[in-house]
Each structure stands twice: as C-alpha cells, then as structure tokens.
Amino acid sequence: MSTFKLGVLVSGGGTNLQAIIDSINSKKLNAEIAVVISSRKDAFALKRARKHNIPEFYIGPDDYESPAEYEKAMIKVLQRYKVDLVVLAGFMKVLTSEFIEAFRNRIMNIHPSLIPSFCGRGFYGKKVHKAALDYGVKVTGVTVHFVDEGTDTGPIILQEAVPVMEDDTVDTLAERVLKVEHRLYPEAIKLFIEGRLRIEGRKVKILK
Ligand code: GRF
C-alpha cells in the first residue's frame, strides 16, 4: 500500500506543521506530507516545508477573482499530489462548500479552545485566548474536528483541557495551549490513518 498522503494548509508560523513533520520523522505517524499550501506569501510555515523538502505553494486568495476560483486552484494542487487528508494548521481562511465537497469528511482543523466556547467567526489566533482570558474561564483547551460548512462546527474528534492561570497573558496561555496542540493533532491524524474514526451525525466514534 502506498504511503498515506497529507496536504497541509497554513497561513502563519506553522508550529503545528512542524509537530506533524516531527511525528512523521520519528515514525510515530505513518504518513507523508505530500504538499503544503499557504494563503500568505511570508508564512514561516513555508520555510519549514522547504527545509524538509516538502513541495510548498503560496496560493493567495487576492490573486483570484472569487473564493470559488481560489479554492479551485487549491483543490487542483491537492488532487495533483493525491492528498488523502487535508490538514488545516493555522489556516486563516474559511472554506466554502465547493472545497468541503471535494474533500468531504477528509478535512481536519485544530482550534485553540474547547469548542463550542470561543469559536466561530472572528475567533482565530490570539483572539481566542484573549476572549478566554477576558471571560475569566479557569479552563480552556484544544479541539481537533472535521471541517463542515460552518466555522468550527464540524464533528469533534479529540479535545483536551488546559488550565488557565491567574497571571496568564495571551502569550503564556497560547504557549501552554500550543504544547497540547502539538501532541493532539498528530494523534488525531493517526486515528484517521488507522481508519479508527467513524462519523455518526455530529459525533465521531473512536474505534478500538
Ligand atoms: C494554533 O493555535 C491553531 O490552533 C490556530 O492557529 C494557531 C496556529 O499556530 N488555528 P501554528 O501556525 O501552527 O504555529
């Protein structure tokens, strides 16, 4: 059987991309990153891909007439590289149904809170942690979920709680949450590759 192929979509620093690369290199994850696509030209994530000889592309939404054309360009590249699973890792664009249909139940996202708290439109990056701190929650966390047409609404695969400390800033909280992200994302991808995730409506069953 050929190696399971991941296509990773990024927009920023790419520490989650790095965690996936590391998991593959240390043989914890039996997969290959076939391609990395960034929505931002200057994303550090692209440099990480280059360093590991992973084909990388910048596909910028502003270079296309419509979101549909932009997504078609991404779909084309992902299909050319025969991607089995699309992994959103700090990808800042919301995908439309055209893209989701092309990879139905084969797109994962990671969100730095316990969904359904601090998620949805406008809750991305550091804004999520700011909202959690402003609200005064004692616990936040990480969610890995399948992507559907909504924003952060797809079936939840894995979640893990992360404590909020009284003296936390957005940066210290983000750092604590990221550590968990880097462990949880490869774990969720592994479950998918092993065929152990069964979607039943809103729920994801993890098979033994
Ligand atoms: C992570 O916190 C992720 O959950 C969120 O954006 C951040 C991306 O970080 N969606 P990185 O680019 O993987 O370092």
- Could you confirm whether domain 1-104 is CATH 3.40.50.2000? no
Q: Would you call 129 a catalytic residue per the annotation?
A: no
Residue-level pLDDT at 2: 83
What does the alpha-carbon distance between residue 74 and residue 68 come to, in Å, rounded to a whole number?
Answer: 10
Q: How far is the CA of 143 from the centre of ligand 1 (A)?
A: 12
Residue nearest to atom 14 of ligand 1 (CA): 15
Numbered ranges of CATH 3.40.50.170 in the chain? 1-104, 109-208
Residue nearest to atom 9 of ligand 1 (CA): 90
- How many DSSP H helices and E strands does the chain contain? 6, 9
In three-state secondary structure terms, 119 is coil
Q: How far is the CA of 2 from the centre of ligand 1 (A)?
A: 29
Q: Is the CB of 151 under 6 A from ligand 1?
A: no
What does the alpha-carbon distance between residue 204 and residue 127 come to, in Å, rounded to a whole number?
Answer: 27
Q: Is the CB of 125 under 6 A from ligand 1?
A: yes
Residue-level pLDDT at 31: 98
Q: Which fold has domain 109-208?
A: Rossmann fold (3.40.50)
Query: pLDDT truncated to tens, each residue of the chain (208 aa)?
Result: 689 999 999 999 999 999 999 999 999 999 999 999 999 999 999 999 999 999 999 999 999 999 999 999 999 999 999 999 999 999 999 899 999 999 999 999 999 999 999 999 999 999 999 999 999 999 999 999 999 999 999 999 999 999 999 999 999 999 999 999 999 999 999 999 999 999 999 999 999 9
Q: Is the CB of 170 under 6 A from ligand 1?
A: no
In three-state secondary structure terms, 153 is coil
Q: Is the CB of 15 under 6 A from ligand 1?
A: yes
